[in-house]
Amino acid sequence: MTKKTTKLSGEAHTRTMVKAISWRVIATLTTMIIVFLFTRRIILTLGVGLAEVTAKITFYYLHERIWSRISWGRSKHPLARLAVKRELEPEDMEIINNKLRELGYMD
């Protein structure tokens, strides 16, 4: 089994894809309803919906991935560059909090 490294900032490709799909479902249904109301043609409505969803998911995904590489407008957390292999357990968080307090980074 391959372990996945997750950074404290940023977004996994899978998350970006799920966001793109969920938004496209809503947006495509909206477009299809509008096309149907104007044309009353089911085949045209389905064709426009299929073309629209395919193109827009692709472009949305690319747009998100490009913006994930741009740091402008993001706050820079000092620990954001640390890659962790798994979610931190509550006990681990407590150890980290105590160490940061001990080093003077937290009150």
- Six-digit token string for 39: 């044309």
Q: What are phi and psi of 6, to 5 degrees?
A: -115, 130
| Sole residue written with tokens 């404290």 | 8
pLDDT of residue 9: 54
Neighbours of 28 (CB within 10 A): 19
pLDDT of residue 23: 85
Per-residue confidence of the chain (107 residues) as pLDDT tens digits? 455 555 545 778 888 888 888 888 899 999 999 999 999 999 999 999 999 988 988 998 999 899 999 988 887 777 777 888 888 899 999 999 999 999 998 88
For the stretch 49-69, what's the b/e string if a residue is b when 16 or more beta carbons lie within 10 angstroms of its beta carbon?
A: beebbeebbeebbeebeeeee
CB 106 within 8 A of CB 97: yes
Q: Is 0.85 topped by the overall pTM?
A: no
